[in-house]
């Protein structure tokens, strides 16, 4: 479970729960998602790509452990992908749905479609990955989508919105 509290609120907003598509709520959801340094890589690969790169059983947590031990050269192509995708890719939330509003806690429970836009990777970089034969959004460009669930509520003082990603 990931948590983020941010956003100054206007007075008079405490009579109801925050809206799912409120700019502060949406920005907070994006901020939480982007804290995961493997976010773009994880969402831009297909299972076939992971298998082709011999990463089927290699989790991103294991990659972090191996790099912390100093074995950076072995994983350089994967680390380069992480850096490239974080610089080049963009996210947006669309198709907002309010799944529940709790009047008692003044909380909104929300769902939205997360769109991740990947640009086409430069050809010289793409060639480094199995001669450019891999096919998935992180290499070829395009969109990857998935649903994201979250809740939003005001802090007791009404000055901030507390946003929490919900488990899938």
CB 25 within 8 Å of CB 19: yes
Residue with more model confidence, 7 or 23: 23
19-59 confidence digits (pLDDT tens) = 999 999 999 999 999 888 778 877 776 666 665 665 555 66
Token couple for 97: 């749905």
How far is the C-alpha of 73 from the C-alpha of 77, rounded, in Å? Answer: 8
pLDDT at 60 over 70: no
CB 8 within 8 Å of CB 162: no
What pLDDT does residue 81 have?
81
């Amino acid at each position: 479970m990931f948590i983020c509290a941010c956003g100054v609120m206007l007075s008079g907003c405490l009579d109801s729960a925050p809206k799912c598509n409120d700019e502060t709520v949406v920005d907070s959801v994006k901020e939480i998602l982007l804290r995961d340094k493997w976010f773009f890589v994880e969402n831009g690969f297909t299972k076939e790509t992971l298998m082709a790169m011999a990463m089927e059983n290699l989790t991103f947590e294991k990659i972090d452990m191996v790099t912390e031990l100093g074995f950076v050269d072995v994983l350089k192509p994967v680390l380069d992908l992480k850096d490239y995708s974080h610089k080049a890719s963009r996210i947006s939330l669309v198709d907002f749905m309010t799944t529940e509003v709790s009047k008692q806690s003044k909380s909104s429970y929300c769902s939205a479609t997360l769109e991740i836009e990947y640009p086409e990777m430069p050809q010289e970089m793409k060639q480094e990955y199995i001669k450019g034969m891999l096919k998935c959004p992180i290499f070829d460009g395009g969109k990857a989508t998935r649903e994201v669930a979250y809740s939003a509520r005001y802090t007791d003082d009404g000055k901030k919105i507390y946003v929490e990603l919900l488990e899938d």
